Amino acid sequence: MPKHLLPIAFAAMLWTTGAHAGTRTAITIASEGASPPWDSIDSNGQLVGYDIDVGKELCRRMAIECKFVAQDWDGIIPALTVGKYDAIISGMSITEKRKKTISFSAPYAIGTNQIVMRRDLNLPPTDIKLKLDLTGIDAGKQAILDQLKAALTGKNLGVLRSSNSEAVLTDLFGKVATIRSYDSLENLKLDLAADRIDGGLADYSNWKLFLDSPDGQNAAFYGPQLFGGTWGPGIGIGIRKDDGDLVEAFNKAIAGAVTDGTLKKLSLQWFGFDISPPETP
């Protein structure tokens, strides 16, 4: 991994705060490593994916060395707060609930989530290209959700444990469907491929890779693409609340990577479509 170190004088100016005296020329970044193409672990045991490339690019812009470590999703925020690492770059949605415990950078990605169901269930057709913002549910949105609820009644639906998708799925369909929570999306996909569950809710891009693979041939997107609401305004970098200097540094680097098109380039590389946030006026 390339190493980019701050000159000592500039480092002192950038990184010295009341909570962290002295200079900091390196940080450790955690990623789950189980949600491709966001992040995964390759055959050499190394973290790879969009999150990892974004992290490397932002560290390059901040002229600081960064080390990446894998961390299970269930403990990813608690381990940050006790100082196991300095930041989380792992497809984490910015939400009000999480902001009570940690701080976030500006969004480095904007994504949607979608339900996938087994084809052999022969469910009523839906508009899978429709994008439904769950921020403020009016009568029109509720009608769409009610139709979806009727179709999913009695079904077994999988979701990543301790995720925002788990909260959304439980809130929308917990009274009519059985919700099964998984420790990783890979295990969820295995059960779906083996017909042990009827479907599930996850990030659109994560599902796309699965559906394009042999294991996903008996499944398909179902219902609208969902965003907003519990998922918040986008995907951000999780940082401890007393690391305001690091938030500021990441925000400056993200703004630059948006303006010059780097985040768009990386998202096209990993996802095949643009998930970069809009440029701030």
**Tens of pLDDT, residues 189-200:** 999 999 999 999
Domain count, the chain: 2
- Whether residues 227 and 242 fall in one domain: no
Q: Does a structural domain hold residue 129?
A: yes
Q: Measured between alpha carbons, how far is 174 from 167 in angstroms, rounded to an integer?
A: 9
DSSP 276: P
Report whether 158 contacts 188 (CB < 8 A). yes
The percent of residues in the chain predicted with pLDDT above 70, rounded, is 91
Q: Does a structural domain hold residue 281?
A: no
Amino acid identity, residue 218? Answer: N
- Whether residues 118 and 216 fall in one domain: yes
Q: Does a structural domain hold residue 101?
A: yes
- For residue 205, what pLDDT band results from cuts at 50, 70 and 90? confident
Nearest to 92 by CA among 57, 50, 151, 140: 50
What's the pLDDT tens digit per position in 6-39?
333 333 333 333 333 236 799 999 999 999 999 9
- Whether residues 176 and 121 fall in one domain: yes
- Whether residues 93 and 162 fall in one domain: no
CATH assignment at residue 106: 3.40.190.10
Q: Measured between alpha carbons, how far is 10 from 23 in angstroms, rounded to an integer?
A: 9
Confidence at residue 273, expressed as pLDDT on a 0 to 100 scale: 87
Q: Measured between alpha carbons, how far is 147 from 280 in angstroms, rounded to an integer?
A: 37
Confidence at residue 125, expressed as pLDDT on a 0 to 100 scale: 96
Q: Does a structural domain hold residue 277?
A: no
Mean pLDDT score, 229-236? 91
Confidence at residue 24, expressed as pLDDT on a 0 to 100 scale: 76
**Residue written as tokens 């006790």?**
82
Confidence at residue 232, expressed as pLDDT on a 0 to 100 scale: 87
- For residue 281, what pLDDT band results from cuts at 50, 70 and 90? low
pTM summary value: 0.70
3, 44, 86 from 111: Cα distances, Å: 30, 29, 24
Q: Does a structural domain hold residue 276?
A: no
In this predicted structure, the answer to whether residue 59 has a pLDDT above a threshold of 80 is: yes
Nearest to 35 by CA among 270, 278, 274: 270
In this predicted structure, the answer to whether residue 156 has a pLDDT above a threshold of 70 is: yes
Q: In terms of residue numbers, what domain contains 74?
A: 8-110+234-271
- Whether residues 119 and 91 fall in one domain: no
Task: Of 78-82, 180-184, 226-230, give the lowest mean pLDDT range.
Answer: 226-230
Confidence at residue 238, expressed as pLDDT on a 0 to 100 scale: 98
Cβ neighbours for 40, distance < 8 A, ≥ 6 positions apart: 33, 34, 47, 48, 49
Report whether 55 contacts 34 (CB < 8 A). no
